[in-house]
Chains A and B, each alone.
Chain A
Amino acid sequence: MRNVGSLRKTLASANLGLFWFFVVVIIVFSLVSPVFRSGPNLRNILSGYSHIGIVAVGMAFPLLLGGIDLSVGSIMGLVAMVVFDATLLLHLPGWVAILAGLLTGILAGLFNAFLIIRVKLQPFIATLATLVAYRGLTYAISGRQINPDLTVVAIKDPLLLGVDGQTGQIPYAFIYLVIIVIVTMTIFRFTRLGIDLYAVGGNPLAARLAGIDVNRVKTLCYVLSGFFTAIAALVLTSRMESTQEGLGGGLELSAIAAGVIGGVSLKGGIGNSFGAALGAFLIGTLSTGLILIGVTGYAPQVVIGVILLIAVGYDRFTVARGNRNWLRRQKHNAAAISSATSQS
């Protein structure tokens, strides 16, 4: 069981290679660019990519199941629009808007789980459908369509604006991420849900035979994905003092990329939230660093694509090697047993 390993095992499952690659990247950029190694730049990377890290941690749950949640980008747009409507259209107080936003994220995750468990759709298909549906819903409920004057109005509610900010040089979004990583790592390592989750992700049939309530685990995973996305949406809404219908478009790919780069296997059962968060910051560090050393246009995206390919390749390589080692051990054991029996 991976969930009861040591810290080294945590790092290993978060892709130790990634960790060292990250260190090298930081050293190289720091040497080349004086701006890169400045405090404000570190703050920029922390504030600019924490929300992607938060979504990536949420995404890690379905991924660990061997599932996927393609709808996170649309959930982000929907949650932000609910918050926008609640404050600017309905003039509700900030705490109501925040609760409504979080609830929207939970319900969206719950509906994904319903489609996957009750309607028995493949997670890819189910969340692809809700990716389209939630985005459509966002346009439908958009306060900016209902009252076009609101397209140029900023949110003024102090509580809502206080969601994003910084204490000293540390952005709030990063603090949320750290808390979320600590909480989720605790779930993974020390709770029944964590054990069940890796079991279901590793082998759903065996998990069911072992008496695990597979549907309950699945539901929780998709709900958590929606919930964490809602938190990220609140951060962005607060930062932009507004939202737009297209907010979060393509976010699912960033989150999946962060997870995969961070060692979360798309086949399920391998990886953790720490790795996913680290993956988000690796993407952020590369994007920012490449710009700071003067790379222009589309090129930074190409580099990140290549890194993703390497990470996925590495993932497949380790899985294959793991399988080979397992086979070798089995053969070795069988040989040992047969020699032992023949001696006696």
Chain B
Amino acid sequence: MSNSSSNSFNRRSFLKAAGAAAAASMVGIPSLGVANARTNRAAKDRYKMVFIPFAPDTVSSAWSQGIAEVLKVQQIIDYQLLDGQSKVDVQINLMDTAITQGVDAIFLQPVDSVAVGPSIKKAKDAGIPVLTLNIDSTEAHASHVEMNHYFGAVDIADKMAQMMGGKGNVVILNAPPGIIIRDQRTNGFKKGLEKYPDIKVIADQSAEWSRKKAQDVLSALMIANKDINGVYGVNDEMALGAVDVLKTKGLIGKVVVFGNDGEKDALQSIEAGELTGTQYTDVFQQGRFAGSAAVVLATGGVSAQAFQSQSHLLMPYFILTKDNVAQIQPNQRW
């Protein structure tokens, strides 16, 4: 499984050196004393951090678990997972509350890249580092840790095309428009298919991240198109929705279905020979990286003014199929 490293490595700009060091060793010592003259955060006894995701769903909960693991080790950090209710105005309110509380770091999975910008700016003005997960903001901030959406999707397309024998019709069950991940994954997927001129994308429809919605969309598409050879669900939930439909029609094994993310249910489905494959990211690890970086930023006395250019970490990933799914250990399954 080396297909990930060559692509991603040159695109990977690591966290600020200190952050990466802490992340790699998994120890963040409170008094790390990062060499930074512009210290404006006084050392104190207790620190507080909050995580504002879309909602505490599968991926976010796994991130949160990774974050909490790292923070707990420090023994001086209180941590709180909040519910963004998938609404950008709710996230803005939560950001305001966190800033008023004077937290020492905010983890954020923005519902919208631009709309949270003013809130991130407010946090920076208050000297609070903001770390985004998966969805970046247009407002520069401390750090961004994301799955490798684009190159992962390129590799998915490649693997899928090989398994389809280089020809056939593909449908994409997509995220709703207006989210950067959607564009990154869709563009990567289409880029990956460019090498295979005999494979056509015959439909690209939103199934709103949802398993149920994906069932409806694919059922409708299969009535209109008799000849579908491949399905790409932009997340695992939608891919599993496609599997549900294929099961009822007895087409398991005849249609190649790929998901994206690598959640527990998807891996089980691959092992059961239903879902063909997925892009797997260790989301616990992603949370740990973010958590480690936050510890360094908050307790190391790094000033908010130091975040003129943000650090950016792309997570390593694997393309999993039945052949290699077993290598993902139980404690890496989320």
Contact = CB atoms under 8 A, between A and B. Distances in A.
Contacts of A40: 100
29 contacts: A35-B101, A47-B96, A48-B89, A51-B89, A142-B177, A144-B177, A145-B178, A148-B183, A151-B113, A151-B178, A152-B180, A154-B138, A240-B89, A240-B92, A240-B116, A240-B118, A241-B117, A241-B118, A242-B112, A243-B115, A244-B115, A244-B178, A246-B87, A247-B88, A247-B89, A288-B93, A296-B82, A297-B56, A301-B85
A244 B112 contact: yes
A152 B178 CA distance: 10
A139, A154, A240, A288: residue with the most chain B Cβ atoms closer than 10 Å: A240
A240 B112 contact: yes
Nearest to A287: B93
A139 B63 CA distance: 30
Contacts of B58: none
A47 B94 CA distance: 12
B176 interface: yes
B100 A242 contact: no
B80 interface: yes
A310 interface: no
A295 to B, nearest CB: 9
A144 B178 contact: yes
Nearest to A42: B100
Interface string B92-111: 11101100111000000001
A231 to B, nearest CB: 14
| Interface pairs A-B: 7 shortest CB-CB | A240-B115, A48-B93, A242-B114, A44-B96, A244-B112, A40-B100, A297-B56
B83 A44 contact: no
A41, A142, A151, A239: residue with the most chain B Cβ atoms closer than 10 Å: A151
Contacts of B176: 245-246
Contacts of B92: 48, 239-240
B59 to A, nearest CB: 15
A139 B116 CA distance: 20
Chain B contact patch, size range: 20 to 34
Nearest to B208: A246
Contacts of A151: 113-114, 178, 180
B97 A44 contact: yes
B80 A294 contact: yes
Given A48-B93, A240-B89, A297-B56, 7 more contacts: A35-B101, A144-B177, A241-B117, A242-B115, A244-B112, A247-B88, A300-B83
B269 interface: no
Contacts of B82: 291, 296-297
A66 B176 CA distance: 35
Contacts of B205: none
A241 B113 CA distance: 11
Given A154-B138, A236-B89, A301-B83, A38 B100 contact: yes
Interface string A299-323: 0110000000000000000000000
A240 B92 CA distance: 9
Interface string B23-42: 00000000000000000000
A249 interface: yes
Contacts of A48: 89, 92-93, 96-97
Contacts of A236: 89
